[in-house]
Copies of this chain bind each other. A is one copy, B any other.
Amino acid sequence: MPNNHDIDHIIKVILQDYDKKRDVDKMDVFGQPDSKAVEDITHKLLNVIFPGYYRDRVYRSFNDRNRMSVLIEDVMYNLEKQITIALSYNEEYRDTDERLRKEAAKRIAGEFGECIPMIREFVDTDVQATFDGDPAAYGKEEIVLSYPGILATTVNRLAHELFLLRVPLIPRMMTEYAHSKTGIDINPGATIGKYFMIDHGTGVVVGETTVIGEHVKIYQGVTLGALSTRGGQDLRGKKRHPTVEDNVTIYSGASILGGETIIGHDSVVGSNCFITASVPADTRVTIRNQELIYKDGNGKEYSSAEFKQGECWCGGYGNDWVI
């Protein structure tokens, strides 16, 4: 261990650094919502949504209804506490006294709680859509227990209601918790219809002003993003992200950008398409085949066309060439 002198010196140097009044120097830990508390609330809300799937040893009980009652009470209490803190970041409440913020938090938590059956109705359709859409799924229990898309979508549906109720900070902390767990980054502002399915999901980005219809299916690496954020804070609140109508499928790696871009209903967007203009309904968009170059062991090159016309060397490889 460093001797006291050294440690004391380092402590002094760092404490002095906290006196610079920059954003990072804020020391009051009770001035903003607590990350750990928000994670805990999010986890318990998932338990409320799926009462049979998250075993929580704290609420051990022989009666499932008692167990869930205690859990709901606990999550509402803690949510209200964190909302009270968060409201000091809302312009409307910033300069009011704490009593008013507490009353507002109580009202907001109550309105949120009443939304839960509606959220559960939507989530049930997501589980159905995921089961119907993935041949690797052996049952709905597997989907609830192990599909990251369901986790990320459910957290978005919860956070979105708090976003609509104008709660600062907490919705984004909730979706970032899901992002950290799943690699799926859905902003709480995004509006998502029923029967939504995300497969695999790593790298998915869904921006704040995105609007998604019903029966939409997206794969890993899809971005529903802004065309440019060069305007920075001046763009805040503007529709910057696309609209995706009903029954659209978007394959892996595709990017769809821009607030005026609409993907019409019943369309399919192929892998890696980069789309910045609207697509009409009932359309399949793909990229013209990549031109691939094949070089054999002797360094001889073949284009995709030669390769496909059977003029290539592959016949010579016998068993290696199977289809």
Q: Which residues of B contact A148 (CB under 8 A)?
A: 176, 179-180
Q: Is the CB of B73 within 8 A of A321?
A: no
Q: Is the CB of A145 within 8 A of B1?
A: no
Q: Which residues of B contact A135 (CB under 8 A)?
A: 226, 229, 231-238, 240
Q: Beyond A18-B51, A288-B290: 11 further Cβ-contacts under 8 Å?
A: A2-B110, A7-B72, A13-B117, A23-B127, A34-B55, A179-B202, A205-B220, A253-B255, A260-B323, A271-B274, A273-B290
Interface class of chain A by DSSP: mixed
Q: Which residues of B contact A72 (CB under 8 A)?
A: 7, 10-11, 14
Q: Among B48, B182, B288, B295, which residue has its beta carbon within 8 angstroms of that of A292?
A: B288
Q: Is the CB of A294 within 8 A of B285?
A: yes
Give me the 8 closest cross-chain CB pairs, A-B, nearest first: A10-B113, A135-B235, A26-B52, A282-B297, A288-B291, A281-B320, A17-B117, A146-B176
| A134 interface residue per 8 A CB criterion | yes
Distance of A236 Cα from B134 Cα, bound (Å): 8
Q: Which residues of B contact A146 (CB under 8 A)?
A: 169, 172-173, 175-176
Q: Is the CB of A187 within 8 A of B120?
A: no
24 A-B residue pairs with Cβ-Cβ distance under 8 Å, sorted by A, are A2-B80, A2-B113, A6-B110, A10-B76, A11-B72, A13-B117, A17-B117, A24-B144, A26-B141, A29-B52, A33-B145, A35-B53, A35-B54, A35-B145, A131-B233, A142-B172, A146-B175, A202-B205, A205-B252, A264-B317, A273-B292, A274-B290, A281-B320, A282-B297
Q: Chain A: interface residue count, which band? A: 35 or more
Q: Among B11, B124, B145, B264, which residue has its beta carbon within 8 angstroms of that of A73?
A: B11
Q: Among B116, B141, B234, B280, which residue has its beta carbon within 8 angstroms of that of A320?
A: B280
Distance of A52 Cα from B27 Cα, bound (Å): 4
Q: Is the CB of A255 within 8 A of B271?
A: yes
Q: Which residues of B contact A14 (CB under 8 A)?
A: 48, 68, 72, 113, 116-117
Q: Among B2, B232, B312, which residue has its beta carbon within 8 angstroms of that of A134?
A: B232
